[in-house]
């Protein structure tokens, strides 16, 4: 049952929820949301209590050069422990309109994909790139910006209405959202328009989303977009923000070996720390791209009056 008009319901926060979505909550989402929260809590609690402690020990063992250190490096080094060691050194500032290539896992066997818990990634993942300018997130953000006076003209509105008319309204237990009426569909689209306008007025807030904008370093030392945050990146691209913070989650082993050379342990990590500052976004297509697009995207003029804070003074 929806909340009475004008009242903000007290709702269980979904794992990827936002207070803005509170008006779109429905009691039918209560148990899916709680299940998603429980799964996230168990996963995060286990990582905090077991995984991170074990990873720290493994990293310390590797840094000390004890027997078996080579095996730890061969397995990719423990990602969370490496991230803690690097700290803010893994945060880089890039022009969002240059960060146009992302990893593309379509048709890439799961057994060949690198582990998300490792810092060193092997394989050809960096040669399979998507063009984010043609991605669904940038199309969505561009549409609601262009059709802000009539959101019924957007493709996303048409899609959600099709779900509604088929008797299967779109829902997201991660966001805690159920779009079971035309009014709710409009509110949902307005919420994203509000996110866009908030970014235009206040700059990029790196703490707003559940995850930071993640990137990985290719074998050539370039940055590819990975994991979540694609809507926020699309908003920054649409607005023309000069800089956004991104977080390096992994690096290709070939780049690592070239940068590290014969160094080991802490000396190796220090060489990587220095080399990261020279990494810039990859703008060219990859040799194994699943799809090829014409390079004819024209960015709109940067939004007037963008705040100085968006230039990367804060993460």
* Nearest in space to 72 (alpha carbons), one of 63, 271, 51, 263: 63
| Within-domain flag for 299 | no
Residues written for the chain: 315
| Within-domain flag for 14 | no
| Within-domain flag for 2 | no
Tell me, what's the pLDDT at 189? 97
| Within-domain flag for 276 | yes
Tell me, what's the pLDDT at 12? 47
Strands (E), the chain: 91-94, 101-103, 120-121, 129-131, 170-172, 177-179, 214-217, 222-225, 244-252, 280-281
Tell me, what's the pLDDT at 11? 45
The arithmetic mean of pLDDT across residues 157-166, rounded, is 97
User: How many distinct structural domains can be found in the chain?
Assistant: 1
| Within-domain flag for 302 | no
pLDDT tens, 260-304?
Answer: 999 999 999 999 999 999 999 999 999 999 888 776 788 999 998
- What confidence category does residue 202 fall into, taking pLDDT thresholds of 50, 70 and 90? very high
**Contact at 8 Å (CB) between 92 and 277?**
yes
pLDDT tens, 91-135?
Answer: 999 999 999 999 998 888 888 899 999 999 999 999 999 999 999
- The pLDDT mean for the chain works out to 86
Tell me, what's the pLDDT at 26? 66
Tell me, what's the pLDDT at 305? 80
pLDDT tens, 67-99?
Answer: 999 999 999 999 999 999 999 999 999 999 999
pLDDT tens, 212-271?
Answer: 899 999 999 999 999 778 999 999 999 999 999 999 999 999 999 999 999 999 999 999
Domain span at residue 219? 19-292
> Is residue 32 over pLDDT 70?
no
| Within-domain flag for 1 | no
| Within-domain flag for 190 | yes
- What confidence category does residue 50 fall into, taking pLDDT thresholds of 50, 70 and 90? low
Tell me, what's the pLDDT at 276? 98
How far is the C-alpha of 82 from the C-alpha of 62, rounded, in Å?
Answer: 11
| Within-domain flag for 9 | no
Tell me, what's the pLDDT at 308? 58
């Amino acid at each position: 049952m929806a909340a009475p008009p004008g009242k903000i319901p007290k709702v269980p926060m979904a794992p990827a929820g936002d207070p803005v979505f509170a008006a779109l909550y429905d009691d039918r989402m209560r148990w899916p949301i709680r299940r998603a929260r429980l799964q996230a809590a168990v996963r995060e609690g286990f990582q905090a209590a077991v995984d991170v402690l074990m990873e720290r020990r493994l990293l310390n063992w590797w840094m000390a050069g004890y027997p078996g250190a080579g095996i730890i490096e061969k397995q990719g080094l423990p990602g969370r422990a490496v991230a803690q060691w690097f700290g803010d050194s893994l945060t880089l500032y890039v022009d969002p309109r240059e960060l146009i290539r992302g990893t593309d896992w379509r048709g890439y066997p799961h057994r060949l994909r690198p582990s998300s818990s490792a810092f060193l990634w092997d394989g050809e993942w960096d040669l399979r790139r998507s063009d984010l300018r043609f991605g669904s997130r940038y199309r969505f953000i561009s549409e609601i910006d262009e059709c802000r006076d009539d959101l019924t003209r957007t493709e996303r509105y048409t899609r959600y209405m099709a779900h509604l008319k088929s008797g299967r309204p779109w829902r997201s237990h991660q966001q805690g959202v159920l779009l079971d009426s035309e009014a709710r569909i409009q509110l949902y689209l307005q919420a994203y328009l509000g996110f866009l306008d908030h970014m235009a007025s206040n700059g990029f807030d790196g703490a707003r989303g559940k995850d930071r904008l993640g990137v990985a370093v290719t074998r050539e030392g370039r940055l590819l977009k990975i994991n979540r945050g694609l809507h926020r990146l699309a908003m920054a691209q649409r607005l023309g923000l000069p800089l956004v913070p991104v977080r390096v989650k992994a690096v290709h082993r070939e780049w690592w070996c070239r940068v590290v050379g014969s160094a080991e342990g802490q000396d190796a990590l220090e060489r990587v720390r220095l080399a990261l500052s020279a990494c810039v976004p990859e703008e060219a297509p990859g040799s194994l791209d699943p799809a090829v697009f014409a390079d004819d995207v024209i960015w709109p003029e940067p939004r007037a009056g963008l705040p100085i804070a968006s230039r990367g003074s804060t993460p």
